[in-house]
Structure formats: structure tokens, C-alpha cells
A and B are shown apart, each in its own frame.
Chain A
């Protein structure tokens, strides 16, 4: 048999069409690679539009005014652009929500991982998942039309729109996030550490509080930061329940306006392209983006930095 220079398999019933298969593979790889790159273009698009319009905004309004003015009136004749008016509302509502979500979420996580029997756990987990899957507009309804009237029965000076209801309901919304991520962290604490604590004569609570929770602290803190980030960026609950009244300060009983609520207010109306109001949207959006981005990065960093390694 003579040497086959082309490397083809001897003639016969095999016809593998390898060139065609390879060509198809290359084309598929390029197309799917392009799909993966769409996520990068999304980021570029977000950053690009935010930066572009924010620069345009700061050409009209100085950054000093943006950071130092104490009122937020971009639609009035006498315009003021004190972003901290919106930030104060956002921060206040986020803080209220965390005050709800931290104890509820963390204790639920402890309950699920340490106290609940597997059967009860199988019922409770889906309930938390439902709570996480309720659309935010539904929570908005609940906050404005159920929780606020309920709270007003014993807080008479609570106004119809207020930060308190929004924050409380927002806290309920982010509780499943804290609970499920914290539970993962608790679950990953090795059995041997628990045994070590019990063998020293610790009760269950002492084991949980002094050994398991500290051992899981990186995951718990990171879940909490992610939840704060979610709270800062949440839109519908605060728009519906907290109102649209830019107020500087931290009074939870009065209407306020968060950054997200402002964006909804402007975009729900018609802000023509090129107006100051339109550019303001993106300056606020940029501020919001930077805050959530910093929180997300901090969360990832924290879990990497402080994760205890058990082999």
C-alpha cells in the first residue's frame, strides 16, 4: 500500500467530512463568542450612556452644586441639584430595610440550617423562594395600601407616603436573599467545628452563636452587602410607597424621594432628549450605579478576603 500523502483514510465506506465539521465548529464558536461578548457590550453601553450624559449634565450644572446644594428641584424655575437630598432618602430606606432583613434573614437561616427538620425545611424553603419572586410592584401595593394604613392605626403622625413602610416592606423583600445566602454560608461550616464545640460542653445556642456564626461571617456579611445593594437599587416599592417629595433628612414618617423614584418620575413623564431634566436622569443614574457597583465589588472582595479555608 502506497503512502497516502493527503492523510485521508483509505477509500471505503467512511466519509467523515471532517473539514465541514471543523468549519461548522469554527462558525458556531465565533457566533457564540459574540453572544458572550454581548454582556461586555451591555456594560460598555451602560457606562457609555451614563458617562456621556453625566458629562453633558456637569457642563450645565457644576459638580460643586450637585454635591453641596440642599434642595432637589430640577423641574422648578429655580433649579437646585443637591443629590444628597435623594441619597439621604435612599440611604434611610436602605437602612430601615436592613434593620428588618438582617435579623429576619439571619435567624431564618439559622432556623433552616440548625433547627428545622428536613421535612419542615422542604416546606419553608419554597415559601422563602415565593417571597423572593413576588414582583416589586406587588410589594409596592402592599406597602402603600396595606402596611401604611396598618401602621397609621398606632402611628397617627405617619403620612400616607413615608419612608418607614417602604423600608419595612423592602426589608421583607430582601430577607429571602439574606436568608438563602447566609444559609449557604452556615451550611458550609464543617461538621467537625460543631462537634468540637459540643465536645467542650457547649449548648446548641452557644455552638451556633460562638462558633458557627463567626465561622460563616464572610458569607453572611457578603450576603448582607448584596442585600443592601439590592435595596439601594430597588425602584417600585419606594416609588409607590415613599412618595416623590425630595426632602433632605432622615425622618421616616414623611414623604421622601429616592434616586430611583426620581428616575421613574422623570421617565414616566416625557423628558425630551437634550433637556436638563433628561441629563439629570443620567447623573442620578450614574450616582446610583456607582453606589451599587461599589457595594457589589465590596461584597465579592469581602468574601474572598475573609473566607476561612477549611480543607
Chain B
């Protein structure tokens, strides 16, 4: 590879798995503040990769680079290269709208649209010119999100009438309805009760066979339960009084939790700070 790879970025993906997402020396600025610095990261296909770290470490910021949600923040600026299926996606040539069709996202707080459950699912498909049968798409997506049995009799009711856990699974169903290749999950369980959390985690296991999943979580148990690989981010205070995040260590999840190479990672996963 032509680009320089610093020693701290362990080539976690040693096996010859194909790489879905790749970050090369990615830095994100908010205005003049450097929020995350020089992240190198390879995310293999059909794996679940967890981003952990204390708040302000930039894990959500990096996640939002993969579907270019940072474009929506006028003051945000992304530097470096991000590759998706080997194609660079951070440049002007790639359209964020088309990219987001292929890289889905689930947010921290369930955010179903104030529409019926059916319309929540079909919205993304409609705008993206889905060619197939919509009823079938709705059933397939809801089944895929393990929600079908609970809502099949009230597809015309508002998505806002569901419980928090159901709403989040509706948002997952909405994301898989546009048949993405990657699903980004930004602390998807932080607003959910433990039962709903388990359901979503089980769902992630099921989804893994079809999608590459990147999940940001502040819950280390969750990261150890669901993920194949874990990236640990940390934050250091800057002179300007802000925080700057960077990637400390990225490895197989067992390695991160049982035998981390870095001091910081050990302290964090053992609960000494964060």
C-alpha cells in the first residue's frame, strides 16, 4: 500500500478478508477545532466492528464519515481518504445521496418518521426508485428486523405509537429496506431498556451474515457481546480547551478485552477511566 501506516494502527485484518470500509489518515475538523486525528481503520465485510471509548473521543464522528453525514454540518471538514469497496467516497466525485443508499444508519435515539409503519419502511425505497413489490419489501424488512410478528396487524398505524425498542427495530427495518451493504449504528441501544437491548443485539447477530455492521457504543459489555473487532478511541485535551480524539488500538474483540497492547486500552476496558 502506498499510504504510510503508523505502527499504532495494527493491521487488525490480517486474513485475506475483503475490506468493506477503509479509513486512511482521516481527520475531522469542526471549524478550526480538530475533533479526531489521523485514524487508520479497516473494516472487513460481514463482521461487526465496535467503536468504544470515552465521550468526546470522536467515535461517532468517524462513524458519520462512512456515510458522509458530516456533510450536513456546515462547519465540519473531513480530511484523508475513506474507501468503500475499494472506491474513494470522501471526494467530490461520489454523491452522498447515492452513498447513503448503500451505507445505512441507525441512530442513538429511535427516530421513526411521523408516518405509518408501512410508510416508514417504504420511504427510503420510494425515493431511491425501488423496482420490486412494496408489500413484500415491507414484510421482508420487518421480518429482518424481528418486528413483523409484533406489527403485522397495524402496518397503517403511526410508527410513533410503538414502544422505544420497537421503534428502534423499525428504524433498523427502515435501514435494511433500502438493501444497504453496510449498517452504521450510533449507540443504538443507549435509549432502550435491557430487554429491548438484548433483542437488538440478537438482531445484529442475524444481520451479520448479510451486512457489515459498525456500531458505536459506550457499553463495553455490549461491545464484547456483539462485535468481532473493537476499535478503542481516546480523547486528549487540547490547548483550546476542547477535546481531540484518536484511535488507540484496533484488534479482534477478544484481544482488546483480554490482552490489550496499549496501557490506555487496558485501563479503559478494566473500568479505570471513561
Contacts and interface: CB of A to CB of B under 8 A. Distances in A.
Interface string A286-298: 0000000000000
Interface in B116-134: 123-124, 127-128
Contacts, number: 69
Given A193-B113, A211-B113, A215-B114, A201 B128 contact: yes
Nearest to A196: B111
A200 B115 contact: no
Interface string A81-123: 0000000000000000000000000000000000000000000
Nearest to A194: B72
A199 interface: yes
B268 interface: no
Contacts of B109: 192
Give chain A's interface secondary structure class: helix
A198 B111 contact: no
Interface in A148-178: none
A215 B100 contact: no
Interface residues of B, number: 26
Interface in B87-127: 97-101, 104-105, 107, 109, 111-115, 123-124, 127
A203 interface: yes
A211 B174 CA distance: 14
Interface residues of A, number: 20
Contact of B160 (A194, A197, A308): A308
A210 interface: yes
Interface of B: 67, 69, 72, 97-101, 104-105, 107, 109, 111-115, 123-124, 127-128, 160, 171, 174-175, 178
26 contacts: A194-B72, A195-B69, A195-B72, A195-B111, A196-B111, A196-B174, A197-B123, A199-B67, A199-B69, A199-B100, A199-B104, A199-B105, A199-B107, A200-B100, A200-B124, A201-B97, A201-B98, A201-B99, A201-B101, A201-B178, A202-B123, A203-B97, A210-B123, A214-B114, A215-B113, A309-B160
